[in-house]
Structure 1
Amino acid sequence: MPGFRNNQVARNVHFLDGRDDEILGFMQTGSVTWGEMDEWLHIVISMPETAYSVWTCVDDHVAETGYRHGTQITLAGNPTVIAPGFYSILSPEGDCLQVNINEERVPPRTVSFSLSNPDPRQMAFQRRVRNRDMRCVVSREEVFDYDFVTFHAAHIFPLAHLDLWRTGNWAAVLSDDEMPGSSGIHSVQNGILLDQTIHTLFDKYLVAMDPDNNYKITYFKRKTRMPGNGEPMYLNPDYPAKYQPSRALLKYHFRMAVLCNLKGRGAEYDWDEDITPGMDSVKEISGSEQGKLRFELEVASRLNALEA
């Protein structure tokens, strides 16, 4: 029935088809432009860009015929920040259109925790990421007195998906000549230093950095504090390119974040990380929604740490 709205995720920008059904959307946190949306739609819509256009809506909706629309919006190179509201995706002539959405699945992530006895490869990864960044690359909050208690050396490509790392031959994108282990997943190029809160958002695809847009930081969830939103991530200018975070790996994470949030899958893996100290973490995880999948990822992360 026309008029479907996706109420499972918080959004303030909604894209409708010609039948008034919501097919895509996201949370505008203040910096996303139409030019960026042009690139995002290339990721999410499995159709040539010449086959569709974005139009303003009339009275926050479009009619089934597709004719009750406003003006056509220029996407490519448009620096205008997208205003919250409703928009329609129609043909370039303004007619109804069957919009084909990319069916690619987004691999779920869990917030990676340190092992009580990390092996030398993990320790080397942590040390190298810390020494290079010395601050959260998103908030730019600096580390003082070498106190990393609230900072995490985070993997860009998650350790839990070591099998995908290997089958995708991601090690081939690295130039690091000092990476520990055989797989390369512990390369400093697969790491960034993050504040522990931002690390959680990163692992939930709620913050991402686009290396093709000057490493611009985008939040996909509105929060009281969004440090660095709309600004470039920090890259230490004193380190050569072969030790910098990999553009290809950051681009992969950004692509997954766009797919996850525009398609409405941001809530699919909404796991509660706030487990009270002293509680049975295994029981808490296995008893939560999607608990079996989360438990498998937690175990895989720990096993892969020993194999990478």
Structure 2
Amino acid sequence: MSVLNRSAGRDIHIYEAKNPDTLIGGLILTNGMTNANFYSMVEIICIFDGTYFLRDEYGTIIQRDGSPLHSGKYYILTSGSMTLSDESWLVRTVSLASGSRVAGFRDAVRARDRRCVITGTEALSADYGIWRGFEAAHIFPLALEHHWTDNVYSRWITVPASSGGSINSVQNGMLLRSDIHTLFDGYDISINPDDNYKIVCFRPDGYNIAGKHLDQRFLEDPHRPVYQLLRWHFRQAVIANMKGAGEPIFECDFPPGSDIMGEIISSPRAAELMEFELSSRLAVGSRRKATARGVSYSSY
């Protein structure tokens, strides 16, 4: 399986001042990133037992404020010790050969949003029942439902799902353009609910969305996604993209005849990737069986 390096293209590099030759992590700088944002993201990948601050490569102390972040090298200075966070990153990939959506979840997300939540692009043919180019995206992936259950994330859900369990509540979903859905699932794009729902791009932004905020009309909807799930996704995106060399980016477009399982087995984090793929495919299989029994599901 082709595996890409998330560190490629970084223009921000993070070091510990006590060990300046060891790279801790980094970031690709995109619009809207502030010094305060950077501090909060460093605190996701690092754990401190005392006070700390950041300085740039010229020796200037970086204030925790709304000033724009600049590219370059940054050094962490702390009065105590610092360790890298061991918060787990759950492998999540996108495969054009798999994926499923419960129809009730899809319909509820469509009815609420009627536009791509991140880009603002309206589903102009929605009144005619045509939603091509738009997909109902799970914030927390359906294929990892056992993690949802184990961590009782259902405690955050106040709007029950019509079917498929709490993970299929409209509060765990957003309508996205198909291309944005792929980037969201791959943690290339996320939303920081602790910064007024700012859109954060972890790869170069070709959509002019980085640094913008979600539409206030969306945020005022009582059925909007719960902020805890958006916060979970944002933390996962920071860990995937900023810690060390970053987590691998897996190929998702497999032409007919590809040895998908063989490529998965030969890839980094193969066991977790296999778990995700199998869970996705089992979900597809169960949906198809249900459809054969007369239950309607969407399969894209």
Q: TM-score w.r.t. structure 2 length?
A: 0.82
Partners of 1:259 and 1:131 lie apart in 2 by 33
- Which of the numbers 140, 147, 156 marks the counterpart of 1:164? 147
Superposition deviation, residue 182 in structure 1: 5.8
- Partner in structure 2 of residue 17 of structure 1: 16
Equivalence map 1:190-205=2 (5 Å): 190-205=172-187
1:229 aligns with 2:229: no
Helix, strand or coil at the partner of 1:148:
coil
Superposition deviation, residue 295 in structure 1: 3.8
Structure 1 residues 285 and 149, CA gap change in structure 2 (3 angstroms): farther
Partners of 2:16 and 2:149 lie apart in 1 by 39
Question: How well do the aligned residues superpose, as a CA RMSD in angstroms?
Answer: 2.7
1:158-188 superposed Cα distances (whole Å, 9 cap, x missing partner): 01111110011111101104x1236301100
Q: How many residues align?
A: 274
1:280 aligns with 2:267: no
Partners of 1:7 and 1:185 lie apart in 2 by 29
- Asked if the contact 2:192–2:199 (Cα under 8 Å) also holds between the matched residues in 1, the reply is yes
- Which of the numbers 114, 136, 139 marks the counterpart of 2:116? 136
Partners of 1:83 and 1:238 lie apart in 2 by 30
Partners of 1:226 and 1:100 lie apart in 2 by 36
- Asked if the contact 2:7–2:27 (Cα under 8 Å) also holds between the matched residues in 1, the reply is no
Structure 1 stretch 98-107 or stretch 201-210: which is displaced more? 98-107
Q: Which amino acid aligns with 2:86?
A: E
Helix, strand or coil at the partner of 1:164:
helix
Q: Which amino acid aligns with 2:16?
A: D
Equivalence map 1:26-37=2 (5 Å): 26-37=27-38
- Partner in structure 2 of residue 218 of structure 1: 200
Q: Which amino acid aligns with 1:232?
A: H
Superposition deviation, residue 234 in structure 1: 3.5
1:106 aligns with 2:106: no
- Asked if the contact 1:220–1:261 (Cα under 8 Å) also holds between the matched residues in 2, the reply is yes
- Asked if the contact 2:95–2:253 (Cα under 8 Å) also holds between the matched residues in 1, the reply is no
Partners of 2:45 and 2:250 lie apart in 1 by 24
- Which of the numbers 76, 79, 84 marks the counterpart of 2:66? 79
1:247 aligns with 2:227: yes
Superposition deviation, residue 106 in structure 1: 0.5
Structure 1 residues 172 and 258, CA gap change in structure 2 (3 angstroms): same
- Which of the numbers 118, 125, 149 marks the counterpart of 2:105? 125
Superposition deviation, residue 249 in structure 1: 0.5
Structure 1 residues 43 and 292, CA gap change in structure 2 (3 angstroms): closer
Q: Which runs of 5+ in 2 are unaligned?
A: 288-300
Superposition deviation, residue 265 in structure 1: 5.3
- Asked if the contact 1:216–1:232 (Cα under 8 Å) also holds between the matched residues in 2, the reply is yes
1:88-140 superposed Cα distances (whole Å, 9 cap, x missing partner): 11236xxxx75311012200112276979x6xx80010111111111111111
Q: Which amino acid aligns with 2:108?
A: R
Partners of 2:224 and 2:134 lie apart in 1 by 18
Q: Which amino acid aligns with 2:38?
A: M
- Which of the numbers 257, 271, 287 marks the counterpart of 2:250? 271
Q: TM-score w.r.t. structure 1 length?
A: 0.80
Helix, strand or coil at the partner of 1:54:
strand
Helix, strand or coil at the partner of 1:127:
helix
Superposition deviation, residue 51 in structure 1: 2.8
- Asked if the contact 1:132–1:239 (Cα under 8 Å) also holds between the matched residues in 2, the reply is no
Q: Which amino acid aligns with 2:204?
A: R
Superposition deviation, residue 256 in structure 1: 0.9
Partners of 1:239 and 1:80 lie apart in 2 by 28
- Partner in structure 2 of residue 44 of structure 1: 45
Structure 1 residues 109 and 231, CA gap change in structure 2 (3 angstroms): same
- Partner in structure 2 of residue 56 of structure 1: 56
Q: Which amino acid aligns with 1:262?
A: M
Q: Which amino acid aligns with 2:91?
A: P
Q: Which amino acid aligns with 2:235?
A: R
- Asked if the contact 1:109–1:204 (Cα under 8 Å) also holds between the matched residues in 2, the reply is yes
Structure 1 residues 189 and 301, CA gap change in structure 2 (3 angstroms): same
Which structure dedicates a bigger proportion of its chain to strand? 2
Structure 1 residues 133 and 299, CA gap change in structure 2 (3 angstroms): same
Partners of 1:55 and 1:125 lie apart in 2 by 46
